[in-house]
Amino acid sequence: MKRDMSGSALLRPATPEDHPRMARILATSFVGKFALAFGRDEERRVKGFEIMLRYGLPDDCLYYVITLDGEVVGLIAFRMGNASLPPERKREYRRALGEVLGPLRAWWAIQVLSLMDGGKLPPQACYLDNLAIDPAFRRLNLTGAIADQVYGSLAAEGKTEILADFVSTNRAVEALVRREGWEYVRKSYILAPITLPLFGFAGIFRIRKDITAYAAGG
């Protein structure tokens, strides 16, 4: 029987102390877009993610951790606006990544990740950038259990919609989209000739969740 996690899963803003655990979850969860940037070696990916968390996040990026009985078991991040990294932080980011990946690969990693940030956001929208649950804690409906907390927090920040992209082979996200009542904005196959042979997926789907109803008093 499926365990019901809705009572004990909580969302809280991430702190620098959470970074090692978050980097480990990111490194085991994201192979596709980040493998291109950080490589296939898991330990090197963990280091890459620690550096990304430390230097690579624009000031308007909100990172939350998902906890279960106080233990960090997942994370979720949002771009809240269109801020870019200040130039000196970008230099530090490239320098620190360069020590792990080499300078060329570090430059490439930063370019690739900035191309995949969801593009320019209208003021009412935020962009779901990363969502990951530790593989040992998947299929417990943790994402469903914290969904209302997520929508409430973002609505309290003045947002009325969440945008996100996912790749057509991601069955878990497809199921969440259905369960959580997100809508499809577009299904794009334009990059299929490149993404299918390289990464094994043909489509990139843009989705949207209206969170107007979660605003205080709404």
Ligand X SMILES: CC(C)(COP(=O)(O)OP(=O)(O)OC[C@H]1O[C@@H](n2cnc3c(N)ncnc32)[C@H](O)[C@@H]1OP(=O)(O)O)[C@@H](O)C(=O)NCCC(=O)NCCS
Stretch that binds ligand X, among 35-43, 88-96, 148-156, 163-171 (CB under 6 A): 163-171
Tell me whether residue 96 or residue 211 sits nearer to ligand X (CB atom): 211
CB of 99 to ligand X, least distance (A): 27
Q: How far apart are CA 53 and CA 118, in angstroms?
A: 18
CB of 168 vs ligand X, minimal distance in Å: 11
Closest CA to 141 of 178, 183, 176: 176
State which of residues 172, 184, 186, 210 lies at the interface with ligand X (CB under 6 A). 172
- Considering only residues 115-154, where is the footprint of ligand X by CB under 6 A? 131-133, 138-143
Tokens of 207: 């989705």
Nearest to ligand X of 63, 94 (CB atom): 63
Q: From the CB of 6, what's the least distance to ligand X, in Å? A: 12
Apex CA 13: angle with CA 31 and CA 176, to 5°? 50
Task: Write the secondary structure of 7-67 as one string of H (helix), E (strand) and C (coil).
Answer: CCEEEEECCHHHHHHHHHHHHHHCCHHHHHHHCCCHHHHHHHHHHHHHHCCCCCEEEEEEE
> Which residues of the shown chain bind ligand X in the complex (CB under 6 A)?
29-30, 131-133, 138-143, 166, 170-173, 175-176
